Chain A
Amino acid sequence: MQDFPILTIIVLLPLLSGVVLFFLPGDRKQLIYRWALATGLIEFLLSIVVYIGYDIDGDRYQFIDKFDWLPDLGISYYVAVDGISAPLILLTGIVIFTGVIISQRIDDRPREFFAFLFILATGVFGVFASLDMFALFFFYEIAVFPMYLLISIWGWKETREYAAMKLTLYLFIGSVIALVGGLALYFEAGLGTFDMLQLESFKFSPEFQKLWFPFVFIGFAVLGGIWPFHNWSPDGHVAAPTAVSMFHAGVLMKLGAFAALRVGIMLLPEGAQFHLPWIILLTLVNVVYGAYIAMVQKDFKYVIGFSSVSHMGLVFMGFATLTEDGFIGAGVQMVSHGVMTALFFAVVGLIYDQAHTRQIDELGGMAKKMPFVAGAFIIGGLVSMGMPGFSGFIAEFPIFMGVWQSHPWIAIAAVISIVITAAYVIRIVGSVFFGEMPEKFEGHVHDISRSEKLALGVLCLVLVGIGIFPSVIVPMVESGVQHVMTLLGGV
């Protein structure tokens, strides 16, 4: 099994499939959708294979594939997964599969849409799997670039130009800053390689680490939506078409957090120890601020957008505690939040497709017409408010435990967000799904199709499954976190 280049297939298959899509006849929409669905399904299944095949007691990195790329510069194509990235690969598989299903109704140039979506997927898989820093940056840019097209062409007409531009600028500037940091690492080490494992074992001087850590960490964290560089994200989420929002909030934001961990914290542990104690204040703002803003939004999709900012703050907060619990929680939260947000955006999209509005005041009584959607949203809502029995609790409980150990005051301030989250979730459940249904929707809003139910069902299943059987994920994440803790010189 280990000889079979499964990771490489996962990474490159979407790109290949996307290229093939360009050669399919553009008017055969059914064919294009089937092709996309098949690709999504294969990716989903392969990611499950990787997840299940990952041996917790085995080597730290598994499913390794390595080829020289530009040997003169020490650049290689080097992929593998550890206990933190394997769940993220699965997450991406889930989101790509469900995202394709939800995009079934895309009518405008579906061929190009799916092609770009798959190129994006290659970038995402590549970042999660790369052990070569150059390759990581390379895939990172591949992931960011198609977003611009996807949003500005297929996005919501009102704001797509603005949002796409804003998003692209933020992310490129972030990645340039991170790239500068990355190059500094490369030259300082002088090993002539971008291999992150070798860079990891190189002892950078404390001064160097303190100087360059903020570049790398914040540069990547922009994509994770860290305050005050979060503003691209709600606007971007709202303007993007449904599947792209799912991908974007569900997976892409994790790229930022993941790369900040992999390149920032793991290569510059002393820098992390020096800087994260103040960065945790930024994450606190993220958590509470995002929740507050979500509470007063009038547009359903903006509520989810800002809730995403709030929940991603918890991931960074988990990192910033520099405790084992915090990292475990953050690792689980990346998956939990990814699936949950994908579910939320799918729900928003399904409602918008039929009701043609996202204004909370204008909606109502949707549960009657779409009971399955309402049920799915309620499950997502329970996850987001950290209800035990759902994945959100499994993620947030360790995070709060970690924060409590390192910064009790911050823990107390941050739990406020749980209350506010409950407030906005309840508000949406109450006014969008229950209450009176406006007359005009009668006859216009129908229940969703069976395949859409399947997509929502898969997402819900993951959220509930992790909540009830946390041991399907926690030990795996923990095995990855152990290594991070060793690098940090703790435990």
Chain B
Amino acid sequence: MQTTTLIWLIPLPPILAFFLIVLFTNRNNRLSHRIAVGAAVISWLLSMVVFFTAIGKEHFGEQVFEDFIQWLPLGKHSSLEIGVLVDPLTAVTLFFVGWTVLMIFIYSIGYHNFGQPKGDDDHHGLPPHGATVEKDGKKQIVPSIEPMYARFFAFIGLFAFGMFTLVVSNNLLTLFVGWEIMGLCSYLLIGFWYGKESARDAAKKAFMTTRIGDVFMLLGISYLFKATNTLNFRDILHNEAVLDALAQADSGFLGLSAAGLIGLLLILGTVGKSAQFPLHVWLPDAMEGPTPVSAMIHAATMVSAGVYMVIRMFPLLEVGEISLSVMAFIGAFTALFAATIALAQKDVKRVLAYSTISQLGFMIAALGVGAYVAAVFHLFTHAFFKALLFLGSGSVIHGMEHGVYHTGNHEVDPQDMFNMGGLRKKMPTTFWTFLIGGFALSGFPLITAGFWSKDEILADALAHNPAVFWTLALAALLTAFYTMRQITLTFLGEPRTEEAKHAHESTRSMTAPLVVLAVFAIGAGWIGIPEHFPALGGIIPNWLHDFVGGTLLHNPETLEEFDMIPLLVSIGVALGGLLLGWLVYRNVSAGSEDPLRKPLGPIYSLFENKYNIDEIYNVLFVRPAMWVSETFTYLFLDRKIIDGVLHFVARISFEIGAFFRNSIDKPIINGFGDLVGFSTNKFGHWFRRIQTGRVQQYMLVALLLAFASLFYYMVALQP
């Protein structure tokens, strides 16, 4: 079979699964998850085949796999197409998407308590509350199966379709299609437990916020299509003439070049999708969804898609100069900003949410300083370790819920890290894999994947823009610190609650994916060890750089000189942060405050309240928008002014009518009419006198009249 055929097939199994489950098997849980996981396996397999075919080819960057069909003819000269493309960037992305999606599908089986009894009082749209079973004559509460189990698998199938479509598409329009499908799925899945108001609000917020970015991206796409008559990646990005023309053309807009304006519009799309400041507000709230969703959408795939898009469009952004500076600024700022918020979060998933925002900031900043390969590298490693961490946190929450069922105390929040502690003994697999993921996130030197990719970003940042470098270095320090805070609070020390004491390791279908992802969280870094790295450099060739660099028209240069400063800084912040985190949090006892609260004082509250950005947006945007719509536009402009004018005209017309009637019609015309009537009457009375009833008198009158007329004719009409 042709490789391009295989590529066409990659996105299809999950969408098929979606339709099969929705239409036919939604009452059968086992069959539904088999269909969904089976679809994920096929897509994964196809992705792997394509990936290994791709890396086996020499100079793959020049001879990519591409195929397309016409889709939407527009005008005489242009049309939009649906097509697939696998170039080095796609191949690498397919690799991590294939793996993480599959792992998350498998994990979801256990997470949604497959095989457990139906809940005593579970409803659609609410998380399962547990079921009572009799065991050895004793009543016991055990986890119950998710009431909308099959529907969940349908939705994540649709989601996977969106992601695969986005990754394999050969043009910006199909990419946008996948992008929007994921936006929709994200709405469906964050609001999966729609019975909870918080989940409904979070879903709305996510959809609306990303949509703001999307519409600007759509404008960027329109402009690009108009300027080049195509949206095909290779035609635009692999064509110096087109790129030059775009860089030269004046957009007529704030003095930007066409490339610059298109770049900015596209970046806005990414800012929404990848939750960068100022559109980051939706991602933490998105944690209302089930944990596999958080792992999938809000770590491994959807938010990665935003970064993927700007990586894809990098050559265009590069010639539009301003775009890169904007990205460097937004990325670096977001990386630090989100890391500070993560310091003060209590919810185990929220810490990870902010850390995701922060890490995506690293990637955007990397692109901003021109470090193309480093951005891809971090995208790659981050997908693995962040999926691992999210799934690990899901496992922890599950373990804690076990404890909650045991004690029956539903007051205890199973997601609050201050209720945990000492889980390493209860949940060893979760602990060790989480530790690996956490260390990778912190950039623990040499052995973890996160170290290599983050180090490369820092090295490139220092070479191009020291300010970005120091911002990112500080963010990396905080990252290591809050990660260790999380690990320490969750797993180390002694249990701080009864529930934590009775936590329980999760089932095999949940822990197995953790182990697989942990392998990648370590090994994924080895593909990109810089050549000049002391001792290790050159043992394994820097495969990633050569391969991914081939995506671009000109292979990006590696840094000539190996600089020890970023390396030392990178090792220093990772180890320092981890050590500090452990020192500060190792002795937190039950019921005590966060040890940072006192020393940081009001700053801590600021972090904890996420800089009050939600409240600020509410005051600045949401309420004014409602006011404008309701009070000003609808009630004032539409109903008062426009309708008012109409009603005024109507009233005036009535008044005029009344005036005509009362002032003209009645006295004058009517008066005249009355006069006529009255006179006729009078005349009649008067005339009655001659109506005597005598025939001879009539004869006489007739005769007189006849003569009179004769006389008239004879006299008056004589010529």
Q: Decide if A and B are genuine partners.
A: yes
List A residues at the B interface (Cβ < 8 Å).
166, 228, 231, 289, 292-293, 295-297, 324-325, 328, 382, 385-389, 394, 397-398, 400-401, 404-405, 408, 411-412, 415-416, 418-419, 422-423, 426, 430, 434-435, 470-471, 474-475, 478
Q: How far is the CB of B147 from chain A (nearest CB, A)?
A: 13
Q: How far is the CB of A286 from chain B (nearest CB, A)?
A: 12
Q: Tell me whether B615 is interfacial, beta carbon within 8 Å.
A: no
Q: How far is the CB of B51 from chain A (nearest CB, A)?
A: 27
Q: How far is the CB of A120 from chain B (nearest CB, A)?
A: 24
A289 touches B215 (CB 8 A): no
Residues of B within 8 A of A382 (CB): 184
B180 touches A387 (CB 8 A): yes
8 more A-B residue pairs beyond the given contacts A405-B226, A408-B251, A412-B219, with a C-beta to C-beta distance below 8 A = A292-B628, A296-B629, A386-B218, A398-B74, A400-B218, A419-B215, A423-B204, A426-B208
Best-buried of B72, B75, B200, B628 by chain A (most CB within 10 Å) = B75
Partner of A400 from B184, B204, B222 at Cβ < 8 Å: B222
Q: How far is the CB of A278 from chain B (nearest CB, A)?
A: 19
Partner of B73 from A295, A296, A474 at Cβ < 8 Å: A474
Q: Tell me whether B212 is interfacial, beta carbon within 8 Å.
A: yes
Residues of A within 8 A of B75 (CB): 324-325, 328, 478
Q: How far is the CB of B73 from chain A (nearest CB, A)?
A: 6
Q: Tell me whether B646 is interfacial, beta carbon within 8 Å.
A: yes
A293 touches B634 (CB 8 A): yes
Best-buried of B74, B200, B226, B625 by chain A (most CB within 10 Å) = B74
Interface residue SS majority, chain A: helix
Which B residue's beta carbon lies closest to that of A430? B200
A471 touches B176 (CB 8 A): no
Q: How far apart sit A388 and B211, CA to CA, in the bound complex (Å)?
A: 13
Return the 4 tightest CB-CB contacts between A and B, nearest first: A292-B629, A415-B215, A296-B630, A388-B177
A401 touches B638 (CB 8 A): no
Residues of A within 8 A of B643 (CB): 231
Q: How far apart sit A133 and B181, CA to CA, in the bound complex (Å)?
A: 46
Fill in one digit per residue for B119-150: 1 if any A CB lies within 8 Å of its CB, else 0: 00000010000000000000000000000000
Partner of B629 from A231, A295, A400, A412 at Cβ < 8 Å: A295
Q: How far apart sit A324 and B78, CA to CA, in the bound complex (Å)?
A: 12
A166 touches B646 (CB 8 A): yes
Q: How far apart sit A389 and B72, CA to CA, in the bound complex (Å)?
A: 12
Residues of B within 8 A of A328 (CB): 74-75
Q: Tell me whether B642 is interfacial, beta carbon within 8 Å.
A: yes
Which B residue's beta carbon lies closest to that of A390? B180
Q: A231-B638, A422-B207 are in contact. Are A401 and B222 (CB under 8 A)?
A: yes
A400 touches B219 (CB 8 A): yes
Residues of A within 8 A of B219 (CB): 400, 404, 411-412, 415
Sampled A-B contacts (24; CB under 8 Å): A292-B629, A292-B633, A292-B634, A295-B629, A296-B626, A382-B184, A388-B176, A388-B180, A388-B181, A389-B181, A397-B218, A400-B218, A401-B222, A418-B215, A419-B211, A422-B211, A434-B200, A471-B70, A471-B71, A471-B72, A474-B72, A475-B73, A478-B74, A478-B75
Residues of B within 8 A of A325 (CB): 74-75, 226
Q: Tell me whether B216 is interfacial, beta carbon within 8 Å.
A: yes
Residues of B within 8 A of A296 (CB): 626, 629-630, 634
Partner of B212 from A292, A412, A419, A426 at Cβ < 8 Å: A419
Q: Which of B184-242 contact A (CB under 8 A)?
A: 184, 187, 194, 200, 204, 207-208, 211-212, 215-216, 218-219, 222-223, 225-226
Q: Tell me whether B252 is interfacial, beta carbon within 8 Å.
A: yes
A422 touches B208 (CB 8 A): yes
Which B residue's beta carbon lies closest to that of A401? B222
Residues of A within 8 A of B683 (CB): none
A434 touches B125 (CB 8 A): yes
Q: How far apart sit A193 and B37, CA to CA, in the bound complex (Å)?
A: 70
Residues of A within 8 A of B633 (CB): 289, 292-293
Interface residue SS majority, chain B: helix
Which B residue's beta carbon lies closest to that of A399? B222
Q: A400-B219, A415-B219 are in contact. Are A389 and B177 (CB under 8 A)?
A: yes
Best-buried of A295, A394, A419, A435 by chain B (most CB within 10 Å) = A419
Q: Tell me whether B24 is interfacial, beta carbon within 8 Å.
A: no
Q: How far apart sit A396 and B251, CA to CA, in the bound complex (Å)?
A: 22
List B residues at the A interface (Cβ < 8 Å).
70-75, 125, 173, 176-177, 180-181, 184, 187, 194, 200, 204, 207-208, 211-212, 215-216, 218-219, 222-223, 225-226, 251-253, 625-626, 628-630, 633-634, 637-638, 642-643, 646
Q: A228-B642, A387-B180 are in contact. Are A426 and B222 (CB under 8 A)?
A: no
Q: How far apart sit A86 and B194, CA to CA, in the bound complex (Å)?
A: 44
Partner of A404 from B74, B187, B226 at Cβ < 8 Å: B226
Which B residue's beta carbon lies closest to that of A389? B177
Q: How far is the CB of B82 from chain A (nearest CB, A)?
A: 10
Q: A324-B75, A328-B75, A475-B73 are in contact. Are A415 and B634 (CB under 8 A)?
A: no
Q: How far apart sit A398 and B643, CA to CA, in the bound complex (Å)?
A: 33
Which A residue's beta carbon lies closest to that of B632? A292
Q: How far is the CB of B78 from chain A (nearest CB, A)?
A: 9
Q: How far is the CB of A139 from chain B (nearest CB, A)?
A: 27
B73 touches A471 (CB 8 A): yes
Residues of A within 8 A of B251 (CB): 408
Q: How far apart sit A430 and B195, CA to CA, in the bound complex (Å)?
A: 11
Q: How far apart sit A165 and B225, CA to CA, in the bound complex (Å)?
A: 47
Residues of A within 8 A of B638 (CB): 231, 289, 293
Partner of A293 from B72, B226, B629, B646 at Cβ < 8 Å: B629
Q: How far apart sit A408 and B207, CA to CA, in the bound complex (Å)?
A: 25
Q: How far is the CB of A308 from chain B (nearest CB, A)?
A: 14
Residues of A within 8 A of B176 (CB): 388
Residues of A within 8 A of B637 (CB): 289
A470 touches B71 (CB 8 A): yes
Q: How far apart sit A296 and B632, CA to CA, in the bound complex (Å)?
A: 11
Q: How far is the CB of B518 from chain A (nearest CB, A)?
A: 37
Residues of B within 8 A of A166 (CB): 646
Q: How far is the CB of B186 from chain A (nearest CB, A)?
A: 13
Residues of A within 8 A of B218 (CB): 386, 397, 400, 415, 418
B225 touches A401 (CB 8 A): yes
B73 touches A478 (CB 8 A): yes
Q: How far is the CB of A406 from chain B (nearest CB, A)?
A: 11
B184 touches A387 (CB 8 A): yes
Q: How far apart sit A295 and B187, CA to CA, in the bound complex (Å)?
A: 19
Which B residue's beta carbon lies closest to that of A294? B629
Q: How far apart sit A139 and B634, CA to CA, in the bound complex (Å)?
A: 34
Q: How far apart sit A186 and B181, CA to CA, in the bound complex (Å)?
A: 52
Residues of A within 8 A of B225 (CB): 401
Q: How far apart sit A404 and B629, CA to CA, in the bound complex (Å)?
A: 26
Q: How far apart sit A385 and B204, CA to CA, in the bound complex (Å)?
A: 14
Which B residue's beta carbon lies closest to that of A471? B73
Q: How far apart sit A426 and B200, CA to CA, in the bound complex (Å)?
A: 10
Residues of A within 8 A of B634 (CB): 292-293, 296-297
Q: How far is the CB of A387 from chain B (nearest CB, A)?
A: 6
Q: How far apart sit A376 and B223, CA to CA, in the bound complex (Å)?
A: 33
Q: How far apart sit A475 and B73, CA to CA, in the bound complex (Å)?
A: 7
Residues of B within 8 A of A295 (CB): 626, 629
Residues of A within 8 A of B194 (CB): 430, 434-435
Which A residue's beta carbon lies closest to that of B221? A397
Q: How far is the CB of A176 from chain B (nearest CB, A)?
A: 15
Residues of B within 8 A of A397 (CB): 218, 222
Q: How far apart sit A188 and B9, CA to CA, in the bound complex (Å)?
A: 63
Q: How far apart sit A388 and B165, CA to CA, in the bound complex (Å)?
A: 13
Q: How far is the CB of B163 from chain A (nearest CB, A)?
A: 15
Which A residue's beta carbon lies closest to that of B82? A468
A231 touches B73 (CB 8 A): no
